C-alpha cells in the first residue's frame, strides 16, 4: 500500500480515532451514530459533513469528498501519502517503518522531493556560514541594529547571501544539477544563466512542521526599487498558503511546555523581534492574508489566537477577513490594539516585555475589534455616517449567540452614537436573522442525494450493505449479483476475496485499494451509512435493489439480442431471436412486478 506494510497501516488506523482527529479541525456535533459539522473542504452554511465513528471514515453530502484518516490528513494538511502517514504515526507515537516502494513513479517522486529538501538544507547551511565571512559586514550591521542575539540567529538559522553567483556554484560543487537548483526555488534564471534568487539579502530559512527547510525569505539591506521582503518561489515542497513561519519552533514549544495561545504577526522580522522579547509562541503569515489551511495548522496546536498586526488603520481593516477565517475554523480570536503605525518589534524596543504583555492582556475579542473598525470607518459626527455605523454594527452584534454579550455591545453602540438602548435593541430584534442555521440542526441528508441513475444507486446500496456488514445481506451471495460499472465490479471482487479467505470486510480498506482511481464513487457509497437511512426497511430495499440490478443485466442481454435481430436476414434465425427476446422481457417483468 504505497510502500507501507498493510499491517502497519491497519495498526495506525486502529490507533487513530477519526472523530478526535477531525475534531481538531472541524466543530462536530453527534447526531445518532455519526458526527456532523461544516465541511472543511468547501464553504457551506449548514452542516453536511458526516464522520462515521464506527467505520472510521468521513463523507460530505455537499462536495462529496470522502476518505479515511490518512486521506483526511493528506487533504487538510496538503501532504502526500507518505507524509500523511508520518503525521499520524507521530500523533499515535508509533515508529515509522522503512518504506519499500513498488511503484517506480512513487519512488521517483519521493526521491526527487528528498533531493530538493537536501538541496535546501545545504543552501541554508551555506547562507548561515556566510554571515561570518568577509563581505557580510552590512548583514551584521543590520542584525545588530535589529538587536538579534546570537541565540536567535542560530534558532532561526539566519544567514547571508553575499552576491548572485556563489550559491549556484556551491550547490553545483555538491553535485546538484541546474534543473534541481531551479526546481528548489533557491535560484532564478536569466539569459540562460542561473543566479541566487535572493542575492545580496539577509536570509531567513522557512522551515515546516517537520523541521525541513522548504524555502527562504530575504530582507533587502539598502533602499532600492526592489521589494524589501522577498520569498523564494512556490515549488513542489513549498506553498506559501499552507505554511506559517516559525511553525517548527511552535511545535517544539508545544511538545516541551504546552501552549496557552498563539500570537500571529505579519512577517518574519516581527516573529524574530518578539522572540528577542521572550515570546516564542509566535508565527507569521509572511505578509499574506491568512488562509483556511493556515488556520487549520494553528488549530492543531492551540484553540486561542492573538492577532498582533501593525497598528495602522488600513492594515487593521484589511485583516478582518483573515480573522473571520480563523473564527470559522473554531478558534477563539483576540486582537491586540497596537498604537497606530507601530509594529510589534517596535513595541518590544519601546516598552519591553512587560509593555507588550500588557497589550496582550488588553487584547479585544474579535467582535469588539470589528466594532472598533466600523467606528473608524464611518463619520459619527454626520447623520448619514452615524446611521450607516448603526446598521453595520447591529449586523456584527447579531453574530453573537450570547444575549449578555449582545446587550454589552449594544451599550457600546449607544455610547458612540447617542441612540437609545431600547431603540437599538428593537432594531436588533427586527433585523433579519442571517445565522439561523447555527441555532437549529439541519436534518441529515438521505441516500437520495447520491447522483446517478436508478441502477447505479441500487448498486451502491447493495455494495454498502455488504461493506457495512448488514445482516440481511448475508442471505444473498454476492456472486449472484451482477454489476455494470468497473468500480462496482472491483469492490465486488474485494468482498468476494475476503469471503473466501475468511478475512474481515472493512469499508475504509477501499480508500487504500481504489481511492485514487475511484474516490468519488467510493464517497457516494460512504454517504449511504447515515442514521436517517437506518429508519426505513433496509432489508426490503436491499431486495428491491438486487432485483433492479438483475433486471439491468437482463436489459443488457435484450439490447444485445435486439442488435442481432436488426442485422439478421435469415427468417428462421429472426424468429428464434424474437422468442429469446420475449422470454427475457417476461423474466424482467417478473423480477420487477
DSSP 246-304: THHHHHHHHHHH--S-EEEESSHHHHHHHHHTT--SEEE-TTSPP-HHHHHHHHHH-SE
pLDDT at 318: 56
pLDDT recorded at residue 440:
40
Mean pLDDT, rounded, for 429-439: 54
Q: How many angstroms separate the first and last alpha carbons of the chain?
A: 45
Q: Of the ranges 47-61, 305-319, 473-487, 493-507, which one carries the lowest mean pLDDT score?
A: 305-319
d(CA 513, CA 498): 13
CA distance 23 to 329: 11
Q: What single string gives the DSSP state of each residue in 507-527? A: TTHHHHHHHHHHHHHHHHHHT
Say which residues have a Cβ less than 8 Å from residue 2's Cβ, sequence separation at least 6: 81, 82, 101, 103, 106, 512
Phi, psi (5° rounding) for residue 526? -60, -35
Residue 221 in contact with residue 259, Cβ under 8 Å? no
- Under DSSP, the state recorded for 314 is H
Residue 264's pLDDT band (boundaries 50, 70, 90)?
Answer: very high
Domain 6-91 sits in which CATH superfamily?
Zinc finger, CHC2-typedomain (3.90.580.10)
Please tell me the CATH code under which domain 247-362 is placed.
3.40.1360.10
pLDDT at 308: 87
* Cα of 266 vs its chain's centroid, Å: 21
Question: In the predicted model, what is the mean pLDDT of residues 389-403?
Answer: 87
Would you say 561 and 581 are in contact if contact means Cβ atoms under 8 Å apart? yes
State how far the Cα of 185 lies from the Cα of 168, in Å rounded to an integer: 12
Q: Is it the case that residue 348 has pLDDT exceeding 90?
A: no
For CA atoms 416, 420, 426, 429, give the dihedral sign.
positive
Residue 334 CA to chain centroid, in angstroms? 23
Q: Cα(390)–Cα(421) distance, rounded to whole angstroms? A: 12
Q: For 232-246, what is the mean pLDDT?
A: 88
For residue 247, pLDDT over 90 is answered with: yes
pLDDT tier at 451, thresholds 50, 70, 90: very low
Residue 436 has pLDDT above 70, yes or no: no
User: Which 3 state secondary structure label does DSSP give 573?
Assistant: helix
- For residue 172, the number of C-alpha atoms closer than 13 Å in the C-beta half-sphere is 12
Alpha carbons 197 and 203: distance in angstroms, whole number: 11
User: How sure is the predictor about 101, in pLDDT bands with cuts at 50, 70 and 90?
Assistant: low
Nearest partner of 333 among 308, 357, 356, judged by Cα: 308
Q: Supply the Cα-derived Rg of the chain in whole angstroms.
A: 31
Would you call 78 exposed, middle or buried from its count of C-beta atoms within 10 A (0-12, 13-18, 19+)? middle
Selected from 1.10.3470, 1.10.860, 3.30.1370, 3.40.50, the CATH number assigned to the domain covering 447-592 reads: 1.10.860
For the chain, the structural domain boundaries read 6-91, 104-237, 247-362, 378-435, 447-592
Question: In 3D, which of 292, 293, 77, 325 has the Cα closest to residue 307?
Answer: 325
Of 194 and 567, the structure prediction assigns the larger pLDDT to 194
pLDDT digits (tens, 9 = 90+) for 3-38: 677 788 888 988 899 999 998 888 898 887 789 988
- Assign 229 to helix, strand or coil: strand
Query: CB atoms < 10 A from the CB of 82, how many?
Result: 19
- What does the alpha-carbon distance between residue 296 and residue 282 come to, in Å, rounded to a whole number? 16
Q: 265-279, 384-398, 475-489: which has the minimum mean pLDDT? A: 475-489
Average pLDDT over residues 336-348: 74
Torsion angles phi and psi, residue 60, rounded to 5 = -110, 125
The number of CA neighbours under 13 Å toward the Cβ of 100 is: 3
Average pLDDT in the chain: 84
Give the number of residues written for the chain. Answer: 593
On whether the pTM is more than 0.85, the answer is no
C-alpha 360: how far from chain center: 29
- Whether the pLDDT of residue 1 is over 60: the answer is no
**Domain range 104-237, CATH architecture:** Alpha-Beta Complex (3.90)
Contact predicate 119/181, CB 8 Å: yes
Closest to 319 in 3D by CA, of 370, 268, 273, 392? 370
In the predicted model, what is the mean pLDDT of residues 305-331?
Answer: 74
Q: What is the mean pLDDT of residues 299-319?
A: 74
Distance CA 29, CA 50 (A): 10
Confidence band of 593 (pLDDT split at 50, 70, 90): low
Strands 262-265 and 304-307, how do they pair?
parallel
pLDDT digits (tens, 9 = 90+) for 133-188: 999 999 999 999 988 999 999 999 999 999 999 999 999 999 999 999 999 999 99
Average pLDDT over residues 446-472: 75
Task: Name 552's Cβ contacts closer than 8 Å, sequence gap at least 6.
Answer: 455, 458, 482, 484
Highest mean pLDDT out of 171-185, 232-246, 332-346, 409-423: 171-185
Q: Output 394 or 454, whichever has higher pLDDT.
A: 394
Amino acid at each position: 500500500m504505497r510502500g507501507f506494510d498493510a499491517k502497519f497501516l491497519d495498526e495506525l488506523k486502529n490507533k487513530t480515532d477519526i472523530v478526535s482527529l477531525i475534531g481538531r479541525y472541524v466543530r462536530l456535533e453527534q447526531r445518532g451514530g455519526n458526527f456532523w459539522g461544516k465541511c472543511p473542504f468547501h464553504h457551506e452554511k449548514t452542516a453536511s459533513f458526516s464522520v462515521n465513528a464506527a467505520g472510521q471514515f468521513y463523507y460530505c453530502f455537499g462536495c462529496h469528498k470522502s476518505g479515511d484518516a490518512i486521506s483526511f490528513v493528506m487533504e487538510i494538511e496538503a501532504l502526500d501519502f507518505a507524509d500523511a502517514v508520518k503525521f499520524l504515526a507521530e500523533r499515535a507515537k508509533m515508529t515509522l517503518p522503512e518504506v519499500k516502494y513498488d511503484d517506480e513513479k512513487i519512488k521517483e517522486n519521493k526521491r526527487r522531493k528528498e533531493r530538493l529538501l537536501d538541496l535546501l538544507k545545504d543552501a541554508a547551511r551555506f547562507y548561515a556560514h556566510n554571515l561570518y565571512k568577509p563581505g557580510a559586514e552590512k548583514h551584521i550591521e543590520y542584525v545588530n541594529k535589529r538587536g538579534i542575539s546570537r541565540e536567535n540567529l542560530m534558532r532561526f538559522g539566519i544567514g547571508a547571501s553575499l552576491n548572485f553567483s556563489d550559491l549556484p556554484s556551491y550547490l553545483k560543487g555538491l553535485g546538484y544539477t541546474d534543473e534541481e537548483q531551479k526546481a528548489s526555488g533557491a535560484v532564478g534564471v536569466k539569459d540562460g544563466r542561473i543566479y541566487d534568487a535572493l542575492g545580496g539579502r539577509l536570509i531567513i530559512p522557512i522551515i515546516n512542521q517537520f523541521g525541513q527547510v522548504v524555502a527562504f525569505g530575504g530582507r533587502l539591506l539598502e533602499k532600492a526599487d526592489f521589494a524589501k521582503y522577498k520569498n523564494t518561489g512556490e515549488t513542489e515542497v513549498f506553498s506559501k498558503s499552507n505554511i506559517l513561519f516559525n511553525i517548527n519552533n511552535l511545535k517544539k514549544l508545544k511538545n516541551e511546555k504546552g501552549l496557552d495561545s498563539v500570537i500571529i504577526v505579519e512577517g518574519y522580522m516581527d516573529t524574530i523581534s518578539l522572540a528577542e522579547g521572550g515570546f516564542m509562541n509566535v508565527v507569521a503569515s509572511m505578509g499574506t492574508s491568512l488562509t483556511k489551511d493556515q488556520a487549520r495548522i494553528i488549530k492543531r496546536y492551540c484553540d486561542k489566537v492573538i492577532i498582533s498586526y501593525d497598528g495602522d488603520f488600513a492594515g487593521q481593516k484589511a485583516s478582518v477577513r483573515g480573522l473571520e477565517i480563523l473564527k470559522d475554523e473554531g478558534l477563539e480570536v483576540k486582537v491586540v490594539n497596537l498604537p497606530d503605525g507601530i509594529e510589534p518589534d517596535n513595541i518590544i524596543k519601546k516598552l519591553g516585555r512587560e509593555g507588550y504583555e500588557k497589550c496582550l492582556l488588553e487584547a479585544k475579542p474579535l467582535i469588539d475589534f470589528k466594532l472598533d473598525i466600523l467606528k473608524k470607518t464611518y463619520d459619527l459626527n454626520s447623520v448619514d455616517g452615524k446611521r450607516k455605523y448603526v446598521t453595520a454594527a447591529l449586523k456584527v452584534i447579531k453574530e453573537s449567540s450570547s444575549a449578555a454579550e449582545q446587550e454589552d455591545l449594544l451599550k457600546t453602540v449607544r455610547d458612540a452614537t447617542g441612540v437609545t438602548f431600547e431603540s437599538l435593541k428593537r432594531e436588533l430584534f427586527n433585523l433579519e436573522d442571517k445565522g439561523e442555521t447555527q441555532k437549529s440542526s439541519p436534518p441529515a441528508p438521505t441516500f437520495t442525494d447520491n447522483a446517478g441513475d436508478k441502477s447505479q444507486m441500487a448498486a451502491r446500496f447493495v455494495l454498502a450493505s455488504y461493506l457495512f456488514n448488514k445482516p440481511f445481506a448475508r442471505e444473498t451471495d454476492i456472486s449472484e449479483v451482477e454489476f455494470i460499472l468497473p468500480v462496482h465490479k472491483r469492490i465486488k471482487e474485494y468482498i468476494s476475496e475476503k469471503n473466501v479467505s475468511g478475512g474481515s470486510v472493512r469499508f475504509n480498506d477501499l480508500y487504500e485499494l481504489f481511492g485514487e482511481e475511484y474516490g468519488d464513487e467510493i464517497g457516494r457509497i460512504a454517504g449511504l451509512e447515515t442514521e436517517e437511512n437506518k429508519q426505513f426497511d433496509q432489508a426490503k430495499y436491499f431486495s428491491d435493489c438486487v432485483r433492479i440490478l438483475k433486471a439491468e443485466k437482463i436489459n443488457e442481454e435484450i439490447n444485445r439480442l435486439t442488435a442481432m435481430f436488426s442485422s439478421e436476414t435469415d427468417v428462421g434465425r429472426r424468429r428464434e431471436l424474437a422468442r429469446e427476446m420475449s422470454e427475457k422481457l417476461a423474466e424482467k417483468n417478473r423480477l420487477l412486478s
